[in-house]
Amino acid sequence: MAILDRAIVRTLPAVPKPIVRKISERYIAGTRVEDACRVVKRLNTEGKTATVDVLGEEITTGEEARHIGYEYENVFRTIDEQRLDTNVSVKLTALGLKLDHGLCRETLERLVREAAARSNFVRIDMEDSTCTDETLRLYRELREAGLDNVGVVLQAHLRRTLDDIEALKALTPNVRLCKGIYVERPEVAFQGFDEVRENFVRALDALLRGGSYVGIATHDEWLIEEGERLVREQGRSPADYEFQMLLGVRPERGDRLVTESHRLRIYVPFGEHWYAYSLRRLQENPKIAGYIAADTLSRLIPGRNGRS
């Protein structure tokens, strides 16, 4: 990232929320389930599948966590009504992990059972390393209770990830593998760009060798190509893995993956609690300075975009 971009990333939390919202629109489907479903429908017509995430990591009460649970039930109903090709992703903090553990566990299990009844699937997102043990424990409990329509996420930047793969091996877990977005201490996570990439490749190789279905979640060109190489070398058919990308990030590369006959799933977040997610996406955007500048300019010069 250029120096100006890095400086802007540091000041982003001070940028007024309406501006953050405007420049992060490309990453979020909207605030309502209808918005998410409209986006999923378009993706489906483009030959892509999706995973819908109800944004909610900023919640502070059990009541809000319950509401997120109901929102997911609404998502499942709408997916079936509209016959959409999508599953869902959940963040355990949005279901109350840090507020009321019992409520979180109960809601998660209810959602996984609801998904099973509808032949659908729940992916448990991975959050910062204070959540890793508990997330993997809940995942294991569900699998040991006989629920197979649930998957987890592992983060290549964490030093523990290869050990986690080994520990989960007997479950042949369905795993989304990503670099990991949360800022972690050096004792916990690799800090170097190349170290993280190398660990991603090692983890992907181990998961594929263990027979896991893997969601290769990256926009990093080098890793996409390494992913293609590994699935080819291990004789995987396109039904045995998928690539995953975030809504609004490198869509043209996603189109190319589909043209090349890979399965591609797009992460489609929606909801009222859009702020924390938006900040993370903007902080990862290598062209953030340009976006801020363009937005500021369009405010200073009304009508610049053909709208006044």
Q: Report, in angstroms and rounded to the nearest whole number, the Rg of the chain calculated over CA atoms.
A: 19
Residue with smaller CB distance to ligand FAD, 136 or 245:
245
Among 5, 125, 143, 265, the one annotated catalytic: 125
Helical ranges in the chain per DSSP H: 3-11, 17-23, 33-45, 62-81, 101-117, 132-144, 161-168, 193-209, 221-233, 251-259, 275-284, 288-300
Q: Are strands 264-270 and 49-54 parallel, antiparallel or unpaired?
A: parallel
- Between residues 120 and 285, which has the closer beta carbon with respect to ligand FAD? 285
- Side-chain-side CA neighbours of 172 within 13 Å: the count stands at 9
Q: How far apart are CA 44 and CA 268, in angstroms?
A: 12
- C-beta of 182 vs 275, nearer to ligand FAD: 182
Query: Which of 176, 197, 265, 281 is labelled catalytic?
Result: 176
Q: How many CB atoms lie within 10 A of CB 86?
A: 26
- 304 three-class SS: coil
Residue 115 to residue 182: CA distance in whole angstroms:
28
Minimum Å gap between C-beta 168 and ligand FAD is 16
Rounded to 5 degrees, what are φ and ψ at 150? -140, 140
Q: How many CB atoms lie within 10 A of CB 157?
A: 24
Give strand pairing partners of 176. 153, 215
39 and 68 Cβ atoms separated by less than 8 Å: no
- Closer of 107 and 155 to ligand FAD (Cβ): 155
Are the CB atoms for 150 and 129 separated by under 8 Å?
Answer: no
Residue 208 or 264: which CB sits closer to ligand FAD? Answer: 264
Please report, as ranges, the residues that interact with ligand FAD according to CB under 6 A: 125-126, 153, 155, 176, 178-182, 217-220, 223, 244-246, 249-250, 267, 281, 284-286
Sign of CA dihedral 96, 97, 101, 102: positive
Q: Which is nearer to ligand FAD, 33 or 178 (CB)?
A: 178
Instruction: State the DSSP H helix or E strand holding residue 62, giving kind and residue range, or none if neither.
Output: helix 62-81
CB 10, min distance to ligand FAD, A: 16
Provide, rounded to whole angstroms, the least separation between the CB of residue 303 and ligand FAD: 27
Closest separation between CB of residue 243 and ligand FAD, Å?
9
Q: Are 12 and 283 in contact (CB under 8 A)?
A: yes
CB of 2 to ligand FAD, least distance (A): 12
Establish whether 125 is a catalytic residue. Answer: yes
Minimum distance from CB of 258 to ligand FAD (Å)? Answer: 15
85 is an active site residue: no
Number of residues that make up the chain: 308
Region of 49 please: left (phi>0), alpha (psi -120 to 50) or beta: beta
Catalytic residue numbers read: 125, 176
